[in-house]
Chain A
Amino acid sequence: AQKVTQAQTEISVVEKEDVTLDCVYETRDTTYYLFWYKQPPSGELVFLIRRNSFDEQNEISGRYSWNFQKSTSSFNFTITASQVVDSAVYFCALSEGLGGATNKLIFGTGTLLAVQP
């Protein structure tokens, strides 16, 4: 069964604090993809990152970094020096299979991040 768990429902931080959003996934496939999307108050889902199951290298993009660990089935997302504009709901998602498959996304329930000025 495919499942994504985001145990943190809401997180509140003060601007400039670092914050880590947790994501744990379940899948039986050996080939899969993991994603993070941001959903600001406007509602549109914004793609942030994709990782495939064969690439466990951590990635940094500006203030964002991602830690992928297959041993614990986790794909955590850290925002360094948070800003008010980071306030949004963040979703972790899983897609199984290769490029020829449906590639539907299985989303977690999301983490609401509130960054206070």
Chain B
Amino acid sequence: DTGVSQDPRHKITKRGQNVTFRCDPISEHNRLYWYRQTLGQGPEFLTYFQNEAQLEKSRLLSDRFSAERPKGSFSTLEIQRTEQGDSAMYLCASSLGLAGNSYNEQFFGPGTRLTVL
């Protein structure tokens, strides 16, 4: 399977615990995105990497959230001191970013569903 993969698929945690999610993008894709989707809503942008550089962060990404992409391949999203409001589906997407006017679509992983009790 050469698509975007995410691990774990489901995570249940107690409020105040830390959690970490992993995303493995399509191998040749240099761009990686994290989105959050709450029930009944569309995905909302959290952060974006081009290779290993984190180039944009949404205001939704509070200080308790941190994302890394250390070698420009897989990425991790950590949430510290989880709150019930963090319960959501966390989606990762990747694309091949090219210079100039071209655009390549983002391919999404299956998501990690987080439940904070």
Contact = CB atoms under 8 A, between A and B. Distances in A.
Interface of A: 4, 31, 33, 35, 37, 42-47, 50, 52, 91, 93, 95, 98-100, 102-110
A102 B56 contact: yes
A51 to B, nearest CB: 11
A32 to B, nearest CB: 10
Given A44-B108, A99-B97, A103-B97, A91 B103 contact: no
Contact of A43 (B33, B45, B99, B110): B110
B45 A106 contact: yes
| Interface band, chain B | 20 to 34
A94 B107 CA distance: 15
A42 B106 CA distance: 18
B103 A99 contact: yes
Nearest to B41: A109
Interface of B: 31, 33, 35, 40-45, 48, 55-56, 89, 91, 93, 95, 97-111, 113
Contact of A45 (B91, B98, B104): B91
B110 to A, nearest CB: 5
Given A43-B111, A44-B111, A103 B103 contact: yes
Nearest to B40: A109
A37 B100 CA distance: 25
Contacts of A107: 42-44
Which of A44, A45, A99 counts the most B-chain CB atoms under 10 A from its CB?
Answer: A45
A106 B48 CA distance: 13
Contacts of B97: 99-100, 103
